[in-house]
Amino acid sequence: MDKHYLNDAKNVIVGMDKLNERFSGKTILMTGAAGFLGTQFVHYFLALNDQRVVSAPCHVVAMDNYLRGVPEWLTILQERKDIEVIAADIVRLATYPRADFIIHAASVASPIFYRKYPIETMDANIWGLRQLLDHARSNPPESLLFFSSSEIYGDPDSQHIPTDENYRGYVSCTGPRACYDESKRFGETLCVAFWNIHHVPVKIARPFNNYGPGLRLNDRRVLPDFFRDVLNNRDVMILSDGRSTRTFCYVSDAIEGYLRLILSHENGESFNIGTDAPEVSMADLAYMVIRVCGKDVKVVRKVSKDAHYLTDNPQRRCPDIAKARQRLGFRPKVLLKQGLQQMRDYYLDHMDDG
């Protein structure tokens, strides 16, 4: 098992403590298993078995369309008995395996790519989810987790920063990011309806910028872009004025939050999963990456050739996580500097992975 993923999985295991045993002997259907969060989930479940944390091994069904290829870690692990790989499009699968827990993380998640593939993005978030909800209705799992997004809030005004779950959003339904934002919003509506009408035990996570090992260097999200420049000894290119701000939640903290949510009784409820550490501007983030990598490069501003690159891009994104703190016992711990160091070490070992 890759040492970076194993390290994160061990931290999740420590944080989950007695809750780990709830996965003993269970089958978990993981959609989007080859993605950033899917990879970390799969490693957590396999580490539960390897470290003998659970009294009976759990079984993972790793489902993905593998459009970007089967990742190397999965090629190595797929011979194991406790993992089964299904290569299929979530929207077109004829039958779904029965599972105790279903985690639906399959989606196009990076802004550059969802703007390029808007229909596929909506399909996974709406029709893929609908198929899973129908499947869950006839084969009831203990719990189903839908991955929504902080993007459902759109570009909140300053009165709603930090943003709590009651904020209804300021979102365009036809703009360049609408395929993602609106399909996540509709996905949440579907989840609530299936809980209210059919009692499908579904929970909704709204991730706020998770980061860490496993985010591909060519994924076109902000941190991989900055690391790719810096580690290649190039100046960091910022395609904005650098003043928009985000918070960044390290992946092992976030995974613990999602696992606490799927094990909870919070059916039909949405939870922000992120960090309440101070926001950081994109310019400051670029300088932090440079310092963490110890490189002598500069930050330069450029205008994107893509006229819509910044259209509807939120100025600030910062969660209020009081609900997750109180109702799930969620406590993000990893400082941004520590998380960036983990990410740097991962990239140094995986520069050729793309």
Of 35 and 57, the one with the shorter C-beta distance to ligand NAD is 35
Q: Does 38 bind ligand NAD (CB under 6 A)?
A: yes
Report in angstroms how near the CB of residue 126 gets to ligand NAD at its nearest.
Answer: 11
What is the per-residue DSSP string for 37-101? HHHHHHHHHHHHHHTT-SSS--EEEEEE--TT---HHHHHHTTSTTEEEEES-TTT-S-----SE
Q: Does 64 bind ligand NAD (CB under 6 A)?
A: yes
Q: Which residue out of 44, 180, 211, 347 is catalytically annotated?
A: 180
Report in angstroms how near the CB of residue 35 gets to ligand NAD at its nearest.
Answer: 2
User: Which residues, listed in sequence order, are joined to residue 337 by a DSSP beta bridge?
Assistant: none
Restricting to residues 207-246, which ones interact with ligand NAD according to CB under 6 A? 207, 209-210
Among 60, 105, 132, 178, binds ligand NAD (CB under 6 A): 105
Before 162, cis peptide (omega within 30)? yes
Q: What is the spatial distance between Cα 41 and Cα 58, in angstroms, rounded to a whole number?
A: 12
Packing angle of the helix pair 336-349, 282-293 (nearest 10 deg): 60
Among 107, 163, 247, 272, binds ligand NAD (CB under 6 A): 107
Q: What is the spatial distance between Cα 140 and Cα 251, in angstroms, rounded to a whole number?
A: 29
Q: How far apart are the first and last CA of the chain?
A: 19
Of 12 and 53, the one with the shorter C-beta distance to ligand NAD is 12
Report in angstroms how near the CB of residue 173 gets to ligand NAD at its nearest.
Answer: 18
Of 147 and 227, the one with the shorter C-beta distance to ligand NAD is 147
Q: Does 108 bind ligand NAD (CB under 6 A)?
A: yes
Q: What is the spatial distance between Cα 169 and Cα 343, in angstroms, rounded to a whole number?
A: 31
180 carries an active-site annotation: yes
Of 57 and 317, the one with the shorter C-beta distance to ligand NAD is 317
3-state secondary structure of 138: helix
Q: What is the spatial distance between Cα 220 and Cα 280, in angstroms, rounded to a whole number?
A: 19
Size of the site for ligand NAD (CB under 6 A): 25
Q: Does 32 bind ligand NAD (CB under 6 A)?
A: yes
| Whether the Cβ atoms of residue 250 and residue 338 lie closer than 8 Å to each other | yes
Restricting to residues 144-183, which ones interact with ligand NAD according to CB under 6 A? 147, 149-150
Catalytic residues: 180
* Residues in contact with ligand NAD by the rule CB under 6 A: 32, 34-38, 64-65, 67, 89-91, 105-109, 124, 128, 147, 149-150, 207, 209-210
